[in-house]
């Protein structure tokens, strides 16, 4: 892409960004935001590098303007993050001395302790440290949940004292975190999730969506799609339970679960136990570039996140992807979803994740299936106006420039 003067940041030299992420690139689904943001900033003239981890398969950037330093660490819960923190401790001074980044961005994790080696350099007015929060701790039960909460709290407290700023995913989450940690709201910027308007372009997948339905034997089915991580407290169990109700009235409605995660085996057991093998399909996760085809072959999307504190103020990426593909979305009426959809027809709200209510919403979309294309069009308008990655890059860039003074 040719960078025009209008695309470049308002400065006289190339700015450098070093993003240090504990995400395991070949395992974690939620790496999209970091990679897409770096791609968008690179197009705006920034020199960008991601330092992260891979467990087995090294991930390379498709954008030559975004360089990736991927540390090989076989994934072992708790141990791998500690090892990455040690790597960060020794690697950061090298990158600071050699690359001279203007901004170093990281995420709340135990690896924040590796930043101790960067603090002597942070006294320089030229380099800025930013903590980026995409999520407050979720599913916090047990020892791992306790450790996750502890690391998040430590990260925010360290950032408040030693970093130059913090960014957060939504204004509502900013308000929550600032209040909890007694932080000045001016210290915190906001940039939400975004979506690639090019990759998630419904006009590009009309034939591919139909062909995929044919291959999967779903040509005559009404497909409700969920894609992403399978874990507890995401409303997936309740959505499967809802299909017991739906199948009696509408036998051709299919719930299609695309993804993987720690709850996958439990979900499969539930499907067998309830006799829903013909009504619920679990499909392994696919490469991110393949996701639009699966959305294209579906009739509606579903985001059944319960009204828990850790989902309430998020900005679900899957929600944006459904809307970009002009799909009507069944979603809980929590602030996270309301902030995006508002009162547009592209959203069908449910007030809880009770199976009966989910079933009623699925039935409503099925009975109005001839109207879905028209309703879904407003979702694309929302994306084009507010959630393209270029707009998110502008938000982050504006914040970074604001803390240079």
Within 10 angstroms of residue 8's Cβ, the number of other Cβ atoms is 16
Distance of CA 365 to the CA centre of its chain: 26
User: What average pLDDT does the segment 321-338 reach?
Assistant: 97
Structurally, how many domains does the chain consist of?
A: 2
Domain assignment of residue 7, yes or no? no
Q: What is the pLDDT of residue 12?
A: 44
Does 138 share its domain with 218? Answer: no
Q: What is the pLDDT of residue 2?
A: 29
Q: What is the pLDDT of residue 137?
A: 84
Beta-sheet strands, E only, within 77-127: 103-106
Does 166 share its domain with 223? Answer: no
Q: What is the pLDDT of residue 4?
A: 34
- Alpha-carbon gap, residue 374 to 328, rounded angstroms: 9
Q: Which residues of 53-71 are buried (b: 16+ CB within 10 A; e: fewer)?
A: bbbeeebebebebbbbebb
Does 124 share its domain with 162? Answer: yes
At residue 7, does pLDDT exceed 50? Answer: no
- Alpha-carbon gap, residue 275 to 241, rounded angstroms: 11
Does 216 share its domain with 341? Answer: yes
Domain assignment of residue 8, yes or no? no
Does 134 share its domain with 261? Answer: no
Task: Take residue 236 and report the two structure tokens written for it.
Answer: 């997936």
DSSP 8-state class, residue 388: B
Does 183 share its domain with 302? Answer: no
DSSP 8-state class, residue 234: S
Q: What is the pLDDT of residue 13?
A: 62
Q: Determine the structural domain holding residue 167 and report its residue range.
A: 16-194+388-402
Q: How confident is the model at residue 62 (pLDDT cuts 50, 70, 90)?
A: confident
Task: Take residue 6 and report the two structure tokens written for it.
Answer: 């209008």
162-206 residue pLDDT tens: 999 999 999 999 999 999 999 999 999 999 999 999 999 999 999
Which of 144, 304, 297, 313 minimizes the C-alpha distance to 239? Answer: 304
- Give the three-state DSSP class for 58: coil
Q: What is the pLDDT of residue 278?
A: 95
Q: What is the pLDDT of residue 29?
A: 63
Domain assignment of residue 180, yes or no? yes
Task: Take residue 308 and report the two structure tokens written for it.
Answer: 């828990």
Q: How confident is the model at residue 51 (pLDDT cuts 50, 70, 90)?
A: very high
238-250 residue pLDDT tens: 999 999 999 999 9
Does 235 share its domain with 151? Answer: no
Does 86 share its domain with 217? Answer: no
81-123 residue pLDDT tens: 899 999 999 999 999 999 999 999 999 999 999 999 998 887 7
- Give the three-state DSSP class for 19: strand
Domain assignment of residue 306, yes or no? yes
Does 102 share its domain with 75? Answer: yes
CATH number at residue 67: 3.40.50.2000
């Amino acid at each position: 892409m040719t960078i025009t003067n209008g695309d470049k940041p308002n400065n006289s030299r190339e700015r450098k960004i070093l993003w240090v992420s504990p995400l395991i690139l070949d395992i974690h689904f939620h790496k999209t935001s970091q990679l897409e943001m770096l791609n968008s900033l690179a197009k705006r003239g920034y020199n960008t590098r991601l330092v992260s981890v891979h467990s087995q398969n090294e991930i390379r950037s498709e954008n030559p303007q975004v360089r990736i330093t991927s540390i090989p660490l076989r994934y072992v819960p708790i141990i791998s993050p500690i090892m990455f923190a040690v790597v960060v401790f020794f690697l950061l001074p090298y990158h600071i001395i050699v690359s001279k980044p203007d901004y170093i961005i990281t995420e709340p994790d135990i690896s924040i302790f590796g930043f101790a080696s960067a603090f002597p350099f942070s006294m320089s007015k030229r380099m800025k440290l930013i903590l980026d929060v995409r999520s407050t701790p979720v599913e916090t039960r047990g020892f791992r949940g306790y450790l996750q909460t502890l690391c998040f709290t430590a990260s925010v407290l360290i950032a408040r004292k030693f970093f130059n700023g913090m960014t957060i995913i939504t204004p509502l989450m900013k308000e929550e975190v600032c209040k909890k940690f007694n932080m000045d709201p001016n210290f915190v910027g906001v940039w939400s999730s975004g979506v690639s308007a090019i990759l998630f372009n419904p006009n590009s997948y009309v034939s591919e969506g139909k062909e995929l339905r044919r291959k999967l034997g779903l040509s005559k089915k009404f497909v409700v799609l969920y894609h992403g991580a399978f874990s507890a407290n995401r409303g997936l169990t309740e959505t499967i339970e809802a299909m017991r109700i739906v199948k009696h009235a509408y036998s051709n409605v299919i719930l299609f679960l695309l993804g993987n995660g720690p709850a996958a085996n439990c979900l499969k057991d539930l499907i067998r136990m309830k006799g829903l093998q013909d009504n619920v399909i679990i499909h392994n996760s696919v490469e991110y570039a393949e996701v639009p085809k699966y959305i294209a072959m579906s009739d509606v999307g579903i985001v059944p996140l319960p009204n828990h504190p850790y989902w309430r103020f998020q900005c679900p990426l899957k929600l944006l992807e459904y809307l970009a593909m002009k799909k009507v979305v069944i979603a809980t009426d929590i602030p996270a979803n309301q902030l995006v959809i508002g009162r547009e027809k592209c959203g069908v709200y449910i007030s809880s994740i009770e199976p009966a209510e989910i079933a009623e919403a699925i039935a409503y979309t099925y009975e109005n299936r001839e109207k879905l294309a028209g309703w879904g069009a407003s979702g694309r308008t929302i994306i084009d106006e507010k959630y393209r990655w270029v707009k998110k890059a502008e938000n982050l860039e504006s914040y970074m420039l604001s803390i240079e003074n």
